[in-house]
């Protein structure tokens, strides 16, 4: 699966999460580009990432910072 995430660093929250099949790589890349242009034109300081993982649960393990707040992240590193 391919995951497109729009993330607000300021709020520490996912704004948008879209899923694409692995076979839709071009669609995912086009969606990322369109979203980046949209937020850039609107001067919205969001992070846009395109990530690949077998499942959403796997992505949550490898890229926890998008899915957990600072308190949750700090707890698991102690």
- Per-residue confidence (pLDDT) for residue 5, from 0 to 100: 97
Q: What are phi and psi of 15, to 5 degrees?
A: -90, -40
- Per-residue confidence (pLDDT) for residue 76, from 0 to 100: 62
Please tell me the chain's helix, strand, coil percentages from 3-state DSSP, rounded to the nearest 5: 50, 30, 25
Mean pLDDT by 10 residues, the chain (78 residues): 95 94 97 96 94 96 84 59
Distance CA 38, CA 49 (A): 14
- Per-residue confidence (pLDDT) for residue 72, from 0 to 100: 60
Give the start-to-end residue ranges of the domains of the chain.
Answer: 2-77
- Per-residue confidence (pLDDT) for residue 17, from 0 to 100: 97
Enter the tokens of residue 25: 């790589």
């Amino acid at each position: 699966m391919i995951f497109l995430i729009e993330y607000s660093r300021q709020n520490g929250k996912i704004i948008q999460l879209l899923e694409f099949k692995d076979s839709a790589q071009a669609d995912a890349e086009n969606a990322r580009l369109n979203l980046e242009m949209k937020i850039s034109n609107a001067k919205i300081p969001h992070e846009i990432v395109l990530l690949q993982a077998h499942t959403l649960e796997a992505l949550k393990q490898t890229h926890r910072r998008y899915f957990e707040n600072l308190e949750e992240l700090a707890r698991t590193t102690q």
